[in-house]
């Protein structure tokens, strides 16, 4: 079992017509739900000032705790609500170990 803190960077392809919906879903549904999970450290939704790129940053104390979050029933409810605001390839992810 890893004791290394992790940070997941999720680049989102947001439908421009659904930006307000994404923000509402993130603020009212996703953030409150993920913040209750064991090992949760932080989450942030970023929008680039130029180009309109979006990034979701998710931090957990360990990769195992992040994987437990992904597998839990609550994630199966809230993530599709976030995805409903995406388009194209939807998202890509890069996992980092926090040093």
**Among 64, 84, 78, 76, which residue's Cα sits nearest to residue 14?**
84
Quote the tokens at residue 99: 């040093």
Architecture field, domain 6-89: 2-Layer Sandwich (3.30)
Amino acid 88: pLDDT: 82
pLDDT in tens, 60-99: 999 999 999 999 999 999 999 999 999 988 899 999 999 9
The SS3 of residue 63 is: helix
**In the chain, domain spans:** 6-89
Tokens 């659904």 sit on residue: 18
Q: Mean pLDDT in the chain?
A: 95
Quote the tokens at residue 68: 């437990």
pTM of the entire structure? Answer: 0.92
Tokens 């360990």 sit on residue: 62
């Amino acid at each position: 079992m890893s004791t290394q803190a992790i940070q997941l960077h999720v680049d989102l392809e947001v439908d421009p017509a659904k930006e307000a919906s994404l923000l509402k879903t993130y603020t009212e549904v996703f953030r409150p739900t993920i913040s209750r999970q064991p090992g949760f450290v932080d989450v942030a939704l970023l929008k680039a000032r130029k180009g309109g790129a979006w990034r979701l940053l998710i931090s957990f104390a360990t990769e195992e705790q992040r994987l437990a979050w992904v597998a839990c029933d609550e994630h199966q409810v809230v993530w599709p609500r976030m995805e409903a605001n995406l388009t194209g390839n939807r998202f890509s992810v890069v996992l980092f170990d926090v040093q």
